[in-house]
Structure 1
Amino acid sequence: MMTTSHDYISDRHSIMLLTIRFDAEQNNDLKPLNLKNFNNLARRIASSPLSRPSKLLELSEAEIGEQLEIDEKSAKLIAGLLSRKHSLAIELSNLEEKGIRAISRAEPEYPSKLLDKLKHLAPPLIFYAGDLSILNNKAVSIVGSRKTSQSLLDQAHLLGEKCAQSGVTVVSGAAKGVDMHAMMGSLQNGGLAAGIVADSLKSFIRKDEISRFVRDGRLVLLSAFPPWEKFTVWRAMDRNKYIYSLSDFGIVVRSDLEKGGTWSGATECIEKNYCALFVLDLGKEERGNAKLIDMRGIPLDIDMISREPDIYRLLSGMIERDSEEEPFIGQNVKQLPLWF
């Protein structure tokens, strides 16, 4: 039977009910499923007669236990989570008013780069504002420390300009400092950008300098966390893998040595091979950058960027010249069905 748009929406709602604590229910003792538990449930659904998450919405607690072959306690939890349809309707209405939407791994428009690179670690849900198709474009992530010199902020802005000139989307964490300068370098020059935010998406989208680019269709903001939840260090660290996974290449403008979110994300990118990682070669005095280069980061001279009209072609050419080295082999994780 052909899957309809209604099926995809129902799947999305089911996944939201299973994995999200709604803003009005912060004191509710019912604990939504974390990623590991959701994936375990997803495997059971896929191997059961139900085949899709939306089918759970039609079942009683006893039927859930029978169809999924799970114990009474687990069936009760799932039924309880799925019973919150009124809260879901309220939340969806609130988000729609603010221009925020959600998409699940069950849907074909879900960012394919996340599924290809993260597989079962891709978030079950993404909340976003703006044109999601921006992510289908060629993309370069540009990241760096919040506190850095004006000279390096100018270089981040230049990198964003070069991406705009080359028709390449800038992906960043949308944080103050390097990230925002790179995004604005692209947006202020007619380019595209994607910001993977760690702060409340509901609050972030209200900023005037941000919202106008979203309305213009040139900026998309994304979060793997509910839009009403505020910034935490853990979320800032966790979103690093989404930044790099959505990118064809990554560029680190500046990183502290062995501390901070930029360092954590860059080393994870190198280890997991989310994308080829370039690091501005700032000399030995910038110890964080120098260490990342020692760890397989590809040294990048900003003067090369200034001279080259097409930044994507430059980075691609550098990868080809570096291809004689033994390639890094990432994790060999079996590809799972789409909505897993």
Structure 2
Amino acid sequence: MEMKALLSIRGIGQKRYQHIQKRLKERGQNIDYLLSLSAERIKEEFGLPIQVATNIVTFAKEQRATSPLQQKNIAILTVDNPQYPQKLKTVLGDKAPNLIYVWGNLELLNRPTIGFCGSRNTDEHGLSITRAIIKQLAPYQWVVVSGHARGVDTIAHRAALEAGLGTIIVLPEGILTFKLRDELKQIARPDQLLIISEFEPEASWQVWRAMKRNQTIVALAEAMVLVQAGEKGGTFEAGKTALRLKKPLFVVEFEKKHANNSGNQHFLSKGAYALKRDKTTLEPNISAIVEMVKTKHKDYQQLPLLNLTD
């Protein structure tokens, strides 16, 4: 919705409109943030008379009834909403997104989560390792978090769905711009999915948004698995973010080194945990991951959590 729509609200003229616009800009927020607040919060944060604040709330309700977000069961969660992911606030503090758009099963936020990242150009060996790790996670009913990019991200989401697990997709674009990949759409049940975007609903993909999205993925995960990374790019930055935020980072250790996994050795030298093949089963040895996630997972129960697809 355009900001100028506020001028249609009784009690908001050009002067108040500019005042609201200035306050939103200072907070790095858009009109959706304003329209998600209660009358008391609007009065407090924007210094408006209570009647004008009430008029804004009434306007917001009318708009939501016909908005694309409402029609698609997309919710807007501000940072003080009880359904907002507690993990984001705990890990990112005042750098947590002030507002997120969500669709799907919010209950997935209560379960232990494990994040996956890897180059879009990860080879078949790396992709098979991703599948093998997630297949072993099936008994734990954990949730896989990733970014829906080509390569490791999509394979991780798909493997989770095939294993009967939940998966959280964190977007580098607006939630109304997003389209679920066909290979995921064919097998996904609504209760297995949660889609999150911290950007305006119709925002397009941009590099800086992808980088910011990576930070959100790391914050939501109890531990991160880095499958393949070069020495620059989004996956490399995601690994750096995991170390900076002190999240356990498990990096696949390849026997053969090449350009596609040259970044892996960098992170192993910086204190990441080596993810190796079990000599008996010849599968990835995830025992350390299991123990780490069990240790790190805290009770983030945030009742009531909703399945927005119902």
| Total equivalences in the alignment | 270
Equivalent pair of 2:38/2:57 in contact (CA under 8 Å) = no
Percent identity reads: 27
Q: Please point out which of 190, 199, 202 is paired with 1:216.
A: 190
What secondary structure, in the 3-state scheme, does the structure 2 residue paired with 1:55 have?
helix
The aligned residue for residue 138 of structure 1 is 112
Taking a change above 3 Å as real, the CA distance of residues 121 and 214 of structure 1, as seen in their structure-2 partners, is farther
Q: Please point out which of 256, 278, 281 is paired with 2:230.
A: 256
The aligned residue for residue 276 of structure 2 is 301
1:166 aligns with 2:129: no
The runs of 5 or more residues in structure 1 that have no matched partner are 1-19, 39-51, 68-78, 321-340
The runs of 5 or more residues in structure 2 that have no matched partner are 7-16, 30-36, 295-310
Q: What does 1:305-324 correspond to in 2, within 5 Å?
A: 311=286, 314-317=288-291
2: distance between equivalents of 1:235 and 1:266?
Answer: 16
1:197 aligns with 2:171: yes
Shift of 1:213: 6.0
Amino acid at match of 1:245: A
The aligned residue for residue 280 of structure 1 is 252
Taking a change above 3 Å as real, the CA distance of residues 318 and 120 of structure 1, as seen in their structure-2 partners, is closer
1: distance between equivalents of 2:274 and 2:215?
Answer: 21
What secondary structure, in the 3-state scheme, does the structure 2 residue paired with 1:154 have?
helix
Equivalent pair of 1:130/1:214 in contact (CA under 8 Å) = no
Shift of 1:56: 4.8
Shift of 1:199: 2.8
What secondary structure, in the 3-state scheme, does the structure 2 residue paired with 1:201 have?
coil
2: distance between equivalents of 1:165 and 1:36?
Answer: 43
Equivalent pair of 2:108/2:166 in contact (CA under 8 Å) = yes
Ranked by relative contact order (alpha carbons within 8 Å, sequence separation 6 or more), the top structure is: 2
Compare 88-97 and 164-173 and name the one that shifted more: 88-97
2: distance between equivalents of 1:23 and 1:149?
Answer: 49
Taking a change above 3 Å as real, the CA distance of residues 23 and 151 of structure 1, as seen in their structure-2 partners, is farther
Equivalent pair of 2:161/2:188 in contact (CA under 8 Å) = no
The aligned residue for residue 246 of structure 1 is 220
> What TM-score comes out, normalization by structure 2 length?
0.73
Taking a change above 3 Å as real, the CA distance of residues 238 and 319 of structure 1, as seen in their structure-2 partners, is closer
Q: Please point out which of 14, 28, 33 is paired with 2:24.
A: 33
What is the root-mean-square deviation of aligned Cα atoms in Å? 3.8
- What per-residue deviation string (whole Å, max 9, x for no partner) do you get for residues 43-72 of structure 1? xxxxxxxxx8642545898x54x99xxxxx
> What TM-score comes out, normalization by structure 1 length?
0.67
Equivalent pair of 1:155/1:302 in contact (CA under 8 Å) = no
